[in-house]
Amino acid sequence: MRIIAGEWRRRVLRFPDSPGLRPTPDRVRETLFNWLGADLRGASCLDLFAGSGALGFEAASRGAARVVLVDNSPGVIAALESNARTLPGGKRLEIVRSDAVRFASSDAQPFDVLFLDPPFKQGWIDRLAPLLPAILAGNGVIYVEAETPLEGCGAWRTVRHGRAGQVFYHLMRRGDADGAE
């Protein structure tokens, strides 16, 4: 996986093959970060199903002050830690081994951006929806990848969306949708 912009632009990160692992493609990441604004200076981001870490590493490269990458697989955690050690200034990254629901139920400080790319067809989005108000700042945004188009997640509504192959991706903001693209 290649980081596409920011401080660590063009850096290649390695991660193990793992069933169900779907690193967010470069084109989709570029679209997402254009939606968010290329500069994330000062933002606090949570990559709740980190997998390859593509979204979290990209956010940190673009200036996020704090990025927490959460995954439950020991092999994935080891790869994330190894990649983080190779990056100058990688101390902004916090890697946590935890179940997503357990982490979202903890007393974590609210985040400005939540990257939510769970395994498909396992009901994760519905299970996490009631927990989102506790982990997101009032104006926090959610990026969701899913196997179907989504109108929203809890109080967050899709404001932008796209599709790449079998993956539907969405940017959500609290409140009403304002003309999804």
For residue 64, the surrounding DSSP H or E stretch is none
* Whether residue 180 has pLDDT greater than 90: no
* Amino acid symbol at 100: A
pTM, whole model, 2 decimals? 0.89
Backbone angles phi, psi at 150, to 5 degrees: -120, 135
pLDDT in tens, 82-135: 999 998 877 889 999 999 999 999 877 899 999 999 988 898 999 999 999 999
Return the SS3 of 135.
Answer: helix
CB 62 within 8 A of CB 39: yes
Instruction: Map out the domains of the chain with their CATH numbers.
Output: 26-174 (3.40.50.150)
Helices marked H in 86-161 — which ranges?
A: 100-104, 124-128, 132-135
